[in-house]
Copies of this chain bind each other. A is one copy, B any other.
């Protein structure tokens, strides 16, 4: 059988929810895709039929080698598309995810390859998520949560959560994007607030924002090569 766009979305969702070989539940995927649990059960069966996942009733599904390879290539497509949208077309970080979500199903391999080379084989999407290589191998990025920094420490924002559009818009607005240099001015004992210095301006952020950010070494931005 052919892999449909819907199947692709489920595979990617499983891939992204699955921490090393763990089984993934119906409701997790249903939540992530905004779909009913019943629909997810049905899709788990179809995917199992195609030997893309191993599915056990009531206990969840996990990707087979075949499924994982495919999922990695899909995630690669998605993240390279995002990079292309930001770096070549200049579209905002807060807009590219839903766009890539549709485009990922329609971009032929040749186009993905060209994106990769034009962008000079990037290792992360614009949100800082790793891009699997052609063999599905993820680069290992050594990021740590913003919360782990002590007062006075300086760091570079490396990754941000991309689930919540409103949060994402806020982060972009404030300049809290990968590559931004920050310093922890003060960690408030109450409410887990943190005062940051961001290129001279000071900014107080709360738990929700703190949890959304990772810091670490971010690869130097490369200008697209055409």
Which residues of A pack against B, CB within 8 Å?
Answer: 85, 88-91, 95, 99, 102-103, 105-108, 110-111, 114, 118, 224, 226
* Contacting pair A114 B91 (CB below 8 A): yes
Residues of B close to A105: CB separation below 8 A: 106
Residues of B close to A110: CB separation below 8 A: 89, 91, 95, 99
Which residue among A89, A95, A102, A224 has the maximum number of chain B CB atoms within 10 Å of its CB?
A: A89
Complex partner residue of A106 from B89, B91, B102, B118, CB under 8 angstroms: B102
Residues of B close to A226: CB separation below 8 A: 88, 224, 226
Complex partner residue of A99 from B95, B102, B108, CB under 8 angstroms: B108
Residues of B close to A111: CB separation below 8 A: 85, 89, 91, 99
The 12 sampled A-B contact pairs (Cβ below 8 Å) are A88-B226, A91-B110, A91-B114, A95-B110, A99-B108, A99-B110, A99-B111, A102-B108, A103-B106, A103-B107, A105-B106, A224-B226
